[in-house]
Amino acid sequence: MPKKIQFAIDNKTLAGFIFLLLILTGIEWFTFRTTNELIDNTKLVNHTHTILTKLELVFSFLKDAESGQRGYMITNDSAYMETYKMDNNNVKNEIAELMKLTGDNPKQQQQIITIDSLVGERYNRMEATLLLQKEKGHTAMAEQIMTREENRIMDMIRKLINTMKEDENHLLTLHTNQTDVSAKRTIEVMLVTGCISIIIIFLGLYFINRDNIKRKIAEQELNRFFTLSLDMMCIVGADGYFKRINPAFEDVLGYTQEELFSRPYHEFLHPDDKTKTIEAVRNMNKEGSKLAIENRCIRKDGTFRWLAWKAVPIDDVRYASARDITEQKMAAESIKKMNEELENRVELRTAELKRSNEELQQFAYVASHDLQEPLRMVASYVQLLEKKYKGQLDEKADTYIGFAVDGASRMKALINDLLDFSRVDSKAKSMKPTDMNETIEEVTHNLKMAIKENKASVEVIGNLPTIIAESIQMVQLFQNIINNAIKFKGEKTPIIRISSEELKDKWLFTIRDNGIGIEKEYWDRIFIIFQRLNNREEYPGTGIGLSICRKIVERHEGKIWLESEMGKGTTFHFTIHKFPINNTSS
Amino acid sequence: MDNETVNILLVEDSAGDAELTREALANGRISHHLDVVCDGEEAIQFLNKKGKYSNANKPDLILLDLNMPRKDGFEVLSEIKDNPNLNTIPVVILTTSNSEQDFYRCFELKASAFFIKPVDLYSFFEVINSIEDFWFTKAKSPSLPK
């Protein structure tokens, strides 16, 4: 993957840098301009000096030319003639140069032109004098000289040159002053810009330093976070070696940093977790997704620790952190073990309970069945005794016989009910679709006598459903409840209303009577075996009937409960599951 | 033996029950002669007039208990029904067992009736009366022309 060029400068720094650059450019430009001005002014000064020199030279050459002429005229030596000619030429040259130099100054040009013409006139005169001496002799020449015309021209030239020099000197003063000003300004500008630069440099230094300190602090914080973290943190390279690890690694695994760097990460993994971890890391690299995995790492001492890893791949490296979850794992493990143990125990216990329950049922059945035999003997012979010998013995004997007969018949009822109770499960038959309307018909038929005697009315509200149940037990259930409703009637003639309701996964049946009612504290207790609420003389019974009801309902995965108001009546509710597990009809 | 007297064989191991049956029959309407044997082995000997029963009468009706030592009611019943000399004798099962299984097994073995001994004396008397009725209606068959 090609590496992108990265700028580590933030916008603020960049803006500062550009600002600095602008200021420095400004300073540079300003310095350049003032320096240039200084140079220009210096050039002007030099220029003026050159002109002044040239002017001096012109005058000097003029004088030299005159000296040459005079010398020649006196000595007739041609060497003077040479000097004369040369100096005249020099004068011409210098004037030509001056013309060039003062190109920017029309006034000076004008004066030079005047000087030039005066120089020309003087030259003509000197030539004429030379000719005069040649042709007319020395006296004529002397006369000519004595006219002092040449001196007059020379004076005019001197005056003009002086004027020019004055002008130039004036200019010189001006330029020198300007140069001074420029130089001063340049120095000032340099000082100011230098100061500004220094300030900027210091400001820059300050800001850079401040940023650096901030960065350093941040770095330190990050480092501290890295080194002080109790979680393990690492960077793993593409080669699978650790590139950076924090001290937590050493603490947890017991290896030194060097040892950890010396081998690829997977060599520290538990052999059983190696494959899954390598596979997961490969997937992470391939999909660039985050990774969360739990595995075991081997410590230097050979033991292992459970670690919960989180990792993310960026470019070629993986950033990972891990937490030591050994304690939690162990705790979970031991909880799991304890749970299993508990479950086993519960299972064992359930099996034991089931067995003992079955044994108890068997016992109840056998006991009640076998009890019937001796009971039959007792009851029958007491009755036979009563039948055959009543009136032949005294009154007390008759009473005793009466108690014995009563006791035997109660025991008979008890045994029969107990038998019924134990048969709810042991003699259970398969469940079939049972029309509850038919069930009620059968019940009213069975209770015909009791209903007639008590003028009771049994009403079915609406149509009852056909449910999956054991029909004999449904008869038993309704018969017990309806029988109770008649038995525990109040002052009024008993009215019993039966209704049903379809719930989500069960049927709800309700049997409402207008009997004596049951006190609230007995609403639950009444379903417990042998619980009786009324005295035996008034309401005979074994106290098993409703426990049989509960057992039947529970066998059909339902619940039975009641509501009652003393003197107004009792309402029994029970539910039957729509598809009881014991159902074998399907 | 005159035709009016019915010979009844009671196979019953419980002396109490035997006595009750005797009482019930005595209380009943028909004139009868009752023989009592106390187990299945004895019953077979009696029916085959073996040993001490060489002078025994052939019963017109057998009342048979099921639970007995040595040879139980089912064995006795099946031997009677397998014996061409005896298989016309009606056999009424009189037992304490109320097991459906026993009930069906007895009818498979061609028992004539099946009664459960009631706990109550008067119910017991009723049962015996109904056996008498049964005998009058069913047993007054062409085999016993009056």
Domain B6-99+114-139 CATH superfamily:
Response regulator (3.40.50.2300)
Token pair listed for A35: 């320096």
Report how far residue A285's alpha carbon sits from residue A264's, in angstroms, rounded to the nearest whole number. Answer: 16
Q: Which DSSP letter does residue A232 get?
A: E
Q: Which residues pair with A460 in a beta bridge?
A: A498
pLDDT band, very low/low/confident/very high, at A501 (cuts 50, 70, 90): very high
- Fold that domain A342-427 belongs to in CATH: Helix Hairpins (1.10.287)
Instruction: Name the pLDDT band for A444 (thresholds 50, 70, 90).
Output: very high
**According to DSSP H, which parts of A76-148 are helical?**
78-101, 106-136, 138-146
Q: Do B119 and A412 touch (CB under 8 A)?
A: yes
B26 touches chain A (CB under 8 A): no
pLDDT top residue among B18 and A189: B18
Pick from A172, A173, A312, A168: which is nearest to A233 by CA? A312
Residue A565's beta-bridge partner residues? A569
Contact status, residue B96 vs residue B12, Cβ threshold 8 Å? no
C-alpha closest to that of B120 among A208, A410, A43: A410
Give the per-residue pLDDT at A586: 37
Q: Which residue of B has its CA nearest to A372?
A: B119
The CATH classification number of A11-206 equals 1.20.120
Cβ neighbourhood burial of A308 (10 Å; 0-12, 13-18, 19+) = middle
Higher-confidence residue of A19 and A364: namely: A19
Mean pLDDT within A123-151: 81
Per mean pLDDT, which range of A1-10, A167-176, A403-412 is the poorest?
A: A1-10
Report field, pTM of the whole predicted structure over 0.90: no
pLDDT(A205) > 90: no
Residue of B nearest to A370 (CA): B96
Domains of chain B, by residue range, sit at 6-99+114-139
Q: Which of B121, B124, B126, B128 to mutate to test the interface with A (most CBs of A within 10 A)?
A: B121
**Shortest Cα distance, chain B CAs vs residue A409, angstroms:** 8
Contact A380 B119 (CB under 8 A): yes
DSSP 8-state code for residue B23: H
Q: Which residue has 């036979």 as its token pair?
A: A384
Which of B17, B96, B120 is nearest residue A379 as measured by Cβ atoms?
A: B120
The domain locations on chain A are 11-206, 232-324, 342-427, 429-577
Lookup: tokens for B141: 């068959």
CATH 3.90.600.10 holds for A429-577: no
B142: contact with A, CB 8 A cutoff: no
pLDDT band at A160 (very low <50, low <70, confident <90, very high): confident
Distance from CA of A471 to the nearest CA of B (A): 17
Query: Per-residue DSSP letters for A539-582?
Result: S---S-HHHHHHHHHHHTT--EEEEEETTTEEEEEEEEESS-TT
Nearest chain B alpha carbon to A411: B119
Q: Which residue of A has its CA nearest to B24?
A: A384
Q: Which CATH class is domain A232-324?
A: alpha beta
- Give B2's pLDDT tier (boundaries 50, 70, 90): very low
Decide if A452 contacts A484 (C-beta within 8 A). Answer: no
ipTM, two decimals: 0.76
Q: Check residue B137 and give its pLDDT.
A: 59
Helix (H, G, I), strand (E, B) or coil at A310: strand
Closest alpha carbon within chain B to A388:
B23
Distance from CA of A505 to the nearest CA of B (A): 35
CA distance B119 to chain A (A): 4
Per the CB < 8 A criterion, the answer to whether A277 and A203 are in contact is no
Candidates B96, B119, B121; nearest CB to A384? B121
Mean pLDDT of A342-351: 89
- Chain B nearest-CA distance from A380, in A, is 5
Q: Which of A126-135, A161-170, A191-200, A454-463 has the highest mean pLDDT?
A: A454-463
Of B84, B76, B89, the C-alpha closest to B7 is: B89
Question: Nearest by CB to A375, which of B20, B119, B124?
Answer: B119
Check CB contact of B102 with chain A, cutoff 8 Å: no
Q: How much is the average pLDDT of A426-439?
A: 82
Cα three-residue angle B113-B117-B122, rounded to 5 degrees: 110
Distance CA A455, CA A450 (A): 8
**pLDDT value of residue A548:** 87
* pLDDT(A193) > 50: yes
CB B105 within 8 A of CB B125: no
Pairwise CB contact (< 8 Å): B96 & A412: no
Q: How confident is the model at residue A157 (pLDDT cuts 50, 70, 90)?
A: confident
Q: Which of A372, A381, A409 sits opposite B96 (nearest CB)?
A: A372
When CB atoms are compared, the residue of B23, B117, B122 closest to A376 is B117
Does A142 score more than 90 pLDDT? no
Q: pLDDT at position B146, please?
A: 32
Measured between beta carbons, the chain B residues lying within 8 angstroms of A406 are: none
The per-residue pLDDT for range B5-56, each reduced to its tens digit, is: 888 999 998 888 898 889 888 888 788 899 999 888 889 999 998 888 888 8
Quickly tell me which residue has 């068997």 as its tokens. A362
DSSP A269: B
Minimal Cα–Cα distance from B103 to chain A, Å? 16
B78-130 pLDDT tens trace = 999 999 988 889 899 988 777 778 888 888 888 888 888 887 788 888 888 88
DSSP-assigned letter for residue A241: B
Residue A536: HSE in the Cβ half-sphere, 13 Å Cα cutoff: 10
Give the Cβ contact number of residue A243 at 10 Å: 14
Does the structure show a pLDDT above 90 at A168? Answer: no
Interhelix angle for A106-136 vs A149-228, to 10°?
140
A350's CB contacts (< 8 A; 6+ apart) are none
**Beta carbons of A380 and B96 less than 8 Å apart:** no
| Residues A446-473, mean pLDDT to the nearest whole number | 89
Residue A132 is predicted with a pLDDT of 82
Higher pLDDT, A534 or A373: A373
* A to B CB pairs, distance under 8 Å: 34
Q: Which residues contact A26 (CB under 8 A, 6 or more apart)?
A: none
Which range is least confidently modeled, A327-341, A391-405, A412-426, A524-538? Answer: A524-538
pLDDT at A534 over 90: no
Give SS3 for B87. Answer: coil
- The DSSP annotation for A138-149 comes to HHHHHHHHHTTH
Provide the strand spans (E) within A194-285: 232-236, 242-245
Nearest by Cα to B80 from B63, B56, B104: B63
What confidence category does residue B143 fall into, taking pLDDT thresholds of 50, 70 and 90? very low
Q: Are A233 and A245 in contact (CB under 8 A)?
A: yes
Burial class from Cβ neighbours inside 10 Å (0-12, 13-18, 19+) for residue B81 reads middle
Question: Distance (Å) from the C-alpha of residue B15 to the closest C-alpha of chain A?
Answer: 10
Q: What is the reported pLDDT for A521?
A: 83
Interchain pair A384, B23: CB under 8 A: yes
Please check the confidence at residue A538 and state whether its pLDDT lies above 70.
Answer: no
Give the DSSP letter string of A408-472: HHHHHHHHHHHHHHHHHHHT----EEEEHHHHHHHHHHHTHHHHHHHT-EEEE-SPPPEEEE-HH
**What value does the CA radius of gyration of chain A take, rounded to a whole number of Å?**
69
- Residue of A372, A373, A383 lying closest to B121 (CB–CB): A383
Question: A366 to chain B: which residues are within 8 Å by CB?
Answer: none
Interval A46-66: pLDDT, tens: 888 888 888 888 888 888 888
Q: Best mutation site among B119, B124, B126, B128 for testing chain A: the one with the most A CBs within 10 Å?
A: B119
pLDDT at A13: 74
pLDDT score, position B136: 65
* Sign of the C-alpha dihedral computed for residues A404, A410, A413 and A417 taken in this order: negative
Chain B residues touching residue A380 (CB < 8 angstroms): 16, 20, 119-121, 124
d(CA A182, CA A340): 103
